[in-house]
């Protein structure tokens, strides 16, 4: 698609959100506000607990602390702006604000993919090669893995934002979602989107796919190792160390695949909003609880902290 001769670059976009019904909007505002507050408290609490509790000073919780940080950032990019839109009725977002959302969302989204892959690898080493675990997952290597996750996320964010900056947006500037999603923005552009689509697909292939393969490969090896254990109690312990992470991975990647990989017509994309809610709002809220409700080490850390106080 080529821009028209009298095309003027859009200076703002309209975020459609969910509904125009006032009563529903009030319920929606309260629900998302409560979810966001729980997300902030839950993830900040997890980060603080991991920092102050010696019991949780291990590679698994170091990675979990960084996941909690990402889970703070992702909804903060989106939810306050969405809440302001519902409360004040302002659905417009500036072009610069939209590009900032694209950059930050792609940065932290890709960083989370690699953090989840790193956590899967950590569980693989712990279950399949326990004697080598202290050597393989040394503090220096853990730090490099986390730094690499953020740098790959930054690379993704910069690349996607640069590709978006060359696009023109004329005519309809309504985004049928509650935040600036890059795939919807590309579909709205009136200029040639070949380069932007190529960068998006290349990034997904070179960055997203390997992280998924690491997760899958790690859990295939873990399951194979656990099934070969003769003791039922040892099997239960091995599976329990992975169950929390596997729940997080399933929710995160499942909603992403529904959002971006399942083909559908433009008239049947209503479920996309709820898939987006799942991985941008709900999953960051649930993660601290997934890792704490049945995790004995986290429970013990909370008990010790309360005794000190």
pLDDT over 80 (residue 201): yes
8 — pLDDT class (breaks 50, 70, 90): low
- Pair 208, 112: CB distance under 8 Å: no
Whether 3 is in a domain gets the answer no
Place of tokens 């080493």: 125
DSSP 279: I
pLDDT, residue 309, reads 56
Rounded CA separation 170/46 (Å):
45
pLDDT, residue 261, reads 61
Under DSSP, is residue 58 helix (H, G, I), strand (E, B) or coil?
Answer: coil
Mean pLDDT throughout 222-232? 84
Whether 5 is in a domain gets the answer no
pLDDT over 90 (residue 167): no
Q: What percent of the chain has pLDDT over 90?
A: 35
Which range is least confidently modeled, 117-121, 158-162, 304-308?
304-308
Whether 7 is in a domain gets the answer no
Whether 275 is in a domain gets the answer yes
Residue 204 CA to chain centroid, in angstroms? 14
Backbone phi, psi, residue 168, to 5°: -100, 145
Whether 1 is in a domain gets the answer no
Whether 2 is in a domain gets the answer no
Mean pLDDT throughout 264-278? 61
| Residue-number span of the structural domain to which 93 is assigned | 12-307
Higher local confidence (pLDDT), 200 or 140? 140
CATH number, domain of 100, equals 1.20.1070.10
pLDDT, residue 165, reads 83
Higher local confidence (pLDDT), 308 or 117? 117
pLDDT, residue 235, reads 77
* Four-CA torsion 149, 155, 161, 167, nearest 10 degrees: -130
- Number of domains the chain contains: 1
DSSP H or E segment with residue 94? strand 92-94
| Among the listed residues 105, 107, 157, 149, the one whose alpha carbon sits nearest the alpha carbon of residue 280 | 105
Mean pLDDT throughout 181-201? 84
pLDDT, residue 166, reads 81
CA angle 163, 164, 166 (to 5 degrees): 80
Angle 59-88/283-290 helices, nearest 10 degrees?
Answer: 150
- Pair 68, 45: CB distance under 8 Å: no
pLDDT over 90 (residue 141): yes
* Four-CA torsion 175, 178, 183, 187, nearest 10 degrees: -10
**For all residues of the chain together, what is the average pLDDT?**
84
Mean pLDDT throughout 72-89? 88
Rounded CA separation 123/59 (Å):
10
Mean pLDDT throughout 71-91? 87
pLDDT, residue 268, reads 43
CA angle 162, 75, 182 (to 5 degrees): 30
pLDDT, residue 45, reads 92
DSSP string of 171-203?
A: S--EESSSS--HHHHHHH-SS--HHHHHHHHHH
Mean pLDDT throughout 109-130? 92
pLDDT in tens, 13-67: 888 877 667 778 888 889 999 999 999 999 999 999 999 988 888 999 999 999 9
Mean pLDDT throughout 83-111? 88
Whether 167 is in a domain gets the answer yes
Strand order in the sheet with 174-175: 92-94, 12-15, 174-175
The encoded tokens of residue 229 equal 């254990």
pLDDT, residue 267, reads 39
Burial class (CB in 10 A: 0-12, 13-18, 19+), 224: exposed
Whether 6 is in a domain gets the answer no
pLDDT, residue 48, reads 92
pLDDT over 70 (residue 6): no
């Amino acid at each position: 698609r080529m821009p028209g001769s009298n095309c003027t670059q859009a200076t703002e976009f309209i975020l459609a959100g969910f509904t125009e019904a006032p009563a529903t909007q009030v319920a929606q505002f309260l629900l998302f506000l409560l979810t966001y507050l729980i997300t902030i408290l839950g993830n900040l609490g997890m980060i603080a607990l991991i920092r102050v509790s010696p019991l949780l000073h291990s590679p698994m919780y170091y990675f979990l602390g960084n996941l909690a940080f990402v889970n703070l950032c992702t909804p903060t990019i989106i939810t306050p702006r969405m809440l302001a839109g519902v409360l004040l009725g302002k659905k417009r977002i500036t072009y610069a604000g939209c590009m900032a959302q694209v950059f930050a969302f792609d940065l932290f989204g890709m960083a989370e993919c690699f953090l989840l892959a790193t956590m899967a690898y950590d569980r693989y080493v712990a279950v399949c090669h326990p004697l080598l675990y202290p050597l393989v997952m040394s503090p220096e290597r853990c730090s490099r893995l986390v730094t690499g996750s953020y740098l790959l996320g930054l690379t993704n964010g910069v690349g996607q934002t640069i590709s978006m900056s060359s696009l023109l947006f004329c005519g309809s500037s309504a985004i049928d979602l509650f935040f600036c999603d890059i795939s919807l923005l590309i579909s709205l552009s009136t200029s040639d989107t070949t380069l932007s689509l190529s960068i998006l697909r290349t990034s997904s292939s070179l960055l997203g796919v390997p992280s998924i393969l690491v997760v899958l490969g790690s859990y295939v090896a873990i399951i194979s190792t656990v099934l070969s254990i003769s003791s039922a109690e040892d099997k239960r312990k091995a599976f329990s160390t992975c169950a929390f992470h596997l729940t997080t991975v399933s929710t995160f990647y499942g909603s992403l695949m529904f959002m971006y990989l399942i083909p559908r017509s433009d008239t049947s994309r209503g479920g996309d909003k709820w898939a987006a809610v799942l991985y941008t709002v709900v999953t960051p809220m649930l993660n601290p609880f997934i890792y704490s409700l049945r995790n004995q080490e986290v429970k013990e850390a909370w008990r010790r902290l309360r005794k000190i106080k």
